[in-house]
Amino acid sequence: MECTRCGRNASIEINYSKDLLCNRCFLELFEKRVRKSIRANRLLNPRDKTAVALSGGKDSAVVLSILKELHKRAPRAGLLAISIDQGVDVCGRTLDASRKICERLGVEHHVFTFREEFGLTLDELVKKTRGIENAAPVCSYCGVLRRRLLNDKARKLGVSKIATGHNLDDEIQTSMMNFIRGELDRMARMGPIVGVVRDAGFIPRIKPLRDSPEDEVLLYARLKGLEFEPSKCPYSQDALRKTIRSAIDLIEEKHPGSKFQMLKSTDRLIPIIRSSMEAGEIRKCSICGEVTSGRLCRVCQIKKELGIY
């Protein structure tokens, strides 16, 4: 097999483009697509101070590695990494991986813990949610607290953008979940850059891997020898996402290119849904002062529910 780009020995088959690639051409194409995505969606400007939300998984490791390369050419831009330790077993390993990659790439690394910031670990949070009637899935509690912590700390560090590792598969799974659950307001909040308009205290989040398929992100991380931890959080068990993931993978297998098409369709729907929605009243949370649509923000609601004041 010859690489369709350079003629060297090819080892990678890309179904949707019918390309056969050697390792070098694959890495090049992958990076080119990420750079193009950053440019086309105006994710970064030369003076941004960017924090990568580093989970220890493959996706954020790839984001960090690629942004580090880009920053070598942008002397006025800043780059750092923030990790959140939720205090479950797997976190020890993910933190190790995060520390290693930051050390090797020479990126400043900040770690914050659930225990110090909220006074409990995720394990303890899980126990508390078991006592609540109609409790939301644990991931939604954890996600809300994690995002707030990340935003607060990034703000204190003078960060202007937070980069996350969301890849193509994550995005279209979320899109399909929102569609199935009829949560179109959530669909309206999707996109390559989110959280720009609402409030000066909210740091915009960018997703440089949003058009990179998950299997290619994994391959990229492996070929580059990036440090990452493959195990997932023991509490992550979104049944609907799992079903959708296998359904979408099957569609892609039978009809290569469908994943990209789903993202395109999602991106065409977002502005239509946004324009049809009434702008909700923006208020300040009566406890912490963060922007919210109700009296209490979601974080303060959760703290109250769990009794963690």
Nearer to Zn ion, 145 or 209 (CB): 145
Q: What are phi and psi of 271, to 5 degrees?
A: -65, -30
138's tokens: 């644990």
Q: How far apart are CA 171 and CA 262, in angstroms?
A: 9
- Max CA-CA distance within the chain? 64
Residues 13-72 that bind Zn ion (CB under 5 A): 22, 25
Residues 216-245 that bind Zn ion (CB under 5 A): none
Q: Is 145 in the site for Zn ion (CB under 5 A)?
A: no
Nearer to Zn ion, 8 or 232 (CB): 8
- Which of 74, 219, 273, 287 binds Zn ion (CB under 5 A)? It is 287
Q: How far is CA 162 from CA 41, 136, 251, in A?
A: 15, 26, 32
The alpha-carbon radius of gyration of the chain (Å, integer) is: 20
For the window 243-282, what string marks contact with Zn ion as x by the rule CB under 5 A?
A: ----------------------------------------
Q: Is 154 in the site for Zn ion (CB under 5 A)?
A: no
Cβ neighbors of 145 (< 8 A, separation 6 or more) are 114, 118, 125, 299, 302
Closest to 82 measured CA to CA, from 194, 190, 158, 196: 158
Q: How far apart are CA 259 and CA 224, in angstroms?
A: 25
Q: Is 297 in the site for Zn ion (CB under 5 A)?
A: yes
Among 82-90, 210-218, 237-245, 287-295, which window interacts with Zn ion (CB under 5 A)? 287-295
Among 64-72, 107-115, 238-246, 288-296, which window interacts with Zn ion (CB under 5 A)? 288-296
- Which of 138, 226, 300, 306 binds Zn ion (CB under 5 A)? It is 300
> Is residue 144 within 8 Å of 302, Cβ to Cβ?
yes
Q: How near is the Cβ of 36 to Zn ion at its closest, in Å?
A: 19
- Which of 273, 285, 291, 308 binds Zn ion (CB under 5 A)? It is 285
Q: Is 196 in the site for Zn ion (CB under 5 A)?
A: no
- The DSSP call for residue 307 is T
Q: Is 1 in the site for Zn ion (CB under 5 A)?
A: no
**Which residues contact Zn ion by CB under 5 A?**
3, 5-6, 8, 22, 25, 285, 287-288, 290, 297, 300
